[in-house]
Structure 1
Amino acid sequence: MRRTTGVALAGAAVLAWGEWLNRRWSRALVGEGTGASEAVVVLGYRNPQPTANAVNRWRVRAGVRSVGGPGVRETRVILSGGVTGDGPAEAELMADYAKSVLRYGGALVLEDRSTTTWENVTNVIPLLEDADRIKIVSQPAHALKARAYLRRLRPDLARRLVRADDCRAGEWLLVKPLLALLGLRTLRVLTAEERTGSR
C-alpha cells in the first residue's frame, strides 16, 4: 500500500512538474498588448506526409483558438513552414486543415520557405510589421524559442508579443513531462535571461 501510494505521488509530481514548466514557458517574453490588429503566427512541424500530421493539426487548432481578444478587430493567421518531404509545404497542409476541417474563414497568410525555427521567425518578420499584437503558437518551449529569436532580430516587434492560447491546464497532460524534457533541450540555445522570461 505504501509503495503504491509512493508511486502515485511520484507520478502526480511528474505530471505537475510538466504542467508547471510548460505553463511557465507559455508566459515568458510576452506582455499585455494593446491595439486593434494582431498577427497569430503558427509554426509548422516537419510533415513529410500529404496531410497535416497530429502536431500540426494541434498547432492550427491552438492558433485558431488564439484569435481575438479584448479590443482586437483585425486578425491575420500566418502559417509558417516549408517543404520537408516530397509533398506540399507545411504551411499549405496547415492551411488546408484550417479551412477544410476547422472551417476557419479568417485571413490566412502562408510563409512556405522556412525549414528551421530561425527561418520561421526571419521570414515572417515582414508580415508582422503592421500588427499591434503578435502571438506565436507552438508547443510552449518551441514558441518561447521563437519569441526569443524575434527579440534578438527585432526588439521593437518583440515588444508587441502577447500570450497565445497554446497551453491549457490538463491538455496533453500525460505528454507534458516529455514535452518539458524535450523543451529543456530545445531551450539550451537561449540565454538564461531568455529562458526565464526576463525582459
Structure 2
Amino acid sequence: MRRWTALAIGGAATLVWGECLNWRWSRALVGNSAGGSVAVVVLGYRNTQATANLVNRWRVRAGIRSIAADDARRTCVIFSGGATGTGTGTTEAQVMAHYAKSVLGFDGTVLLEDQSTTTWENIINVIPLLEDADRVKIVSQPAHALKARVYLRRQRPDLAQRLVPADDYRPGERIFVKPLLALYGLWALHGLRADEHVVAPEEGAGGHRP
C-alpha cells in the first residue's frame, strides 16, 4: 500500500511540475496591452507528410483560439515554416494554412512565411510582417514559443515590447504530455541566458533555435 501511495504522490507531483513549468513559460516576456491590430504567429514543426501532423494540428488550433472575438477583424494569422521534406515542394506554412482553412473552417486573414528552417529564421522572416501590428502573439509549445520571444527580443527589442500572451497553454490540457514538454523545454532553453527568459512574476504579468 505504501508503495502505491508513493507512486501516486510521485505521479501527481510530476503532473503538477509539468503544469507549473509550462504555465510559467507561457507567461514569460509578455505584456498585457489591449486594443489595436494583432498578429498571431504560428511556428511550424517538422512535417514529413503531405498533411499536417499531430503537432502542427495542435499548434494551428492554438493559433486560431488565440484570436479574441473582439479582435477578429483586426487579426492576421501568420503561419511560419519552410519545406516539409516530403519532396512535394509543400511547406509547413502551406500545410498549416490548409488545415486551418479546410478542416477548421478559418476564414480570417492568413499570411505565409515559407522560407524558415529554424526558429531563429522564423523570427527573422516574420519581422517584416509584424511591423504594423500593435500586438504580437507567438504560438507553439510554451517553451518553444518563449525561445522565439527571446529571439525577437534579440533581433528587434522594439517589436518585442508588443508581445502579449497567446492561448497555447490551458490548465489540464494534455496534462499527461506536459511533463514531457517540460523536459523538452528545459533542454530547448538551456542555451539561453537566464536573464533572457526568467522574469520576476510582476514583470511577466505586466511587462513585456538556431
Q: Give the superposition deviation at 1:70.
A: 5.8
Instruction: Indicate whether 1:38 and 2:38 are aligned.
Output: yes
The separation in 1 between residues aligned to 2:188 and 2:21, in whole angstroms, is 13
The separation in 2 between residues aligned to 1:102 and 1:9, in whole angstroms, is 39
Q: Which residue of the partner structure matches residue 163 of structure 1? A: 165
The separation in 2 between residues aligned to 1:182 and 1:71, in whole angstroms, is 32
Q: Which residue of the partner structure matches residue 100 of structure 1? A: 102
The separation in 2 between residues aligned to 1:115 and 1:109, in whole angstroms, is 17
The separation in 1 between residues aligned to 2:71 and 2:96, in whole angstroms, is 27
SS, match of residue 142 in structure 1? helix
Q: Is the 8 A contact 2:37 2:75 kept in 1?
A: yes
Q: Which residue of the partner structure matches residue 62 of structure 1? A: 62
Q: Give the superposition deviation at 1:184.
A: 0.4
The separation in 1 between residues aligned to 2:105 and 2:197, in whole angstroms, is 36
Q: Is the 8 A contact 1:37 1:132 kept in 2?
A: yes
Q: Which residue of the partner structure matches residue 2 of structure 1? A: 2
The separation in 2 between residues aligned to 1:49 and 1:72, in whole angstroms, is 31
Which structure 2 residues correspond to residues 19-168 of structure 1 after superposition, within 5 A?
Answer: 19-68=19-68, 73-85=73-85, 86-87=87-88, 88-168=90-170
Q: Is the 8 A contact 1:46 1:84 kept in 2?
A: yes
Q: Give the superposition deviation at 1:69.
A: 5.8
Q: Give the superposition deviation at 1:191.
A: 0.9
Of the structure 1 ranges 119-128 and 84-93, higher mean CA displacement relative to structure 2 is found in 84-93
Q: Which residue of the partner structure matches residue 175 of structure 1? A: 177
Q: Give the superposition deviation at 1:72.
A: 6.7
Q: Give the superposition deviation at 1:34.
A: 3.1
The separation in 2 between residues aligned to 1:44 and 1:62, in whole angstroms, is 12
SS, match of residue 33 in structure 2? coil
Q: CA, structure 1 residues 57+115, in 2 after alignment: closer, same or farther (shift >3 Å)?
A: same
The separation in 2 between residues aligned to 1:40 and 1:4, in whole angstroms, is 45
Q: Is the 8 A contact 1:29 1:161 kept in 2?
A: yes
SS, match of residue 110 in structure 1? strand
The separation in 1 between residues aligned to 2:199 and 2:169, in whole angstroms, is 16
Gaps (5+ residues) in structure 1?
A: none
Q: Which residue of the partner structure matches residue 205 of structure 2? A: none
Gaps (5+ residues) in structure 2?
A: 201-207
Of the structure 1 ranges 114-123 and 82-91, higher mean CA displacement relative to structure 2 is found in 82-91
SS, match of residue 58 in structure 2? helix
The separation in 2 between residues aligned to 1:166 and 1:193, in whole angstroms, is 23
SS, match of residue 31 in structure 1? coil
Q: CA, structure 1 residues 47+71, in 2 after alignment: closer, same or farther (shift >3 Å)?
A: closer
The separation in 2 between residues aligned to 1:175 and 1:167, in whole angstroms, is 12
The separation in 2 between residues aligned to 1:19 and 1:70, in whole angstroms, is 29
Q: CA, structure 1 residues 69+148, in 2 after alignment: closer, same or farther (shift >3 Å)?
A: farther
Structure 1, residues 50-93: CA drift from partner, whole Å, max 9, x if none?
00000000000000000126667500000000003013100000
Provide the TM-score with structure 2 as the length reference: 0.92
Q: Which residue of the partner structure matches residue 15 of structure 1? A: 15
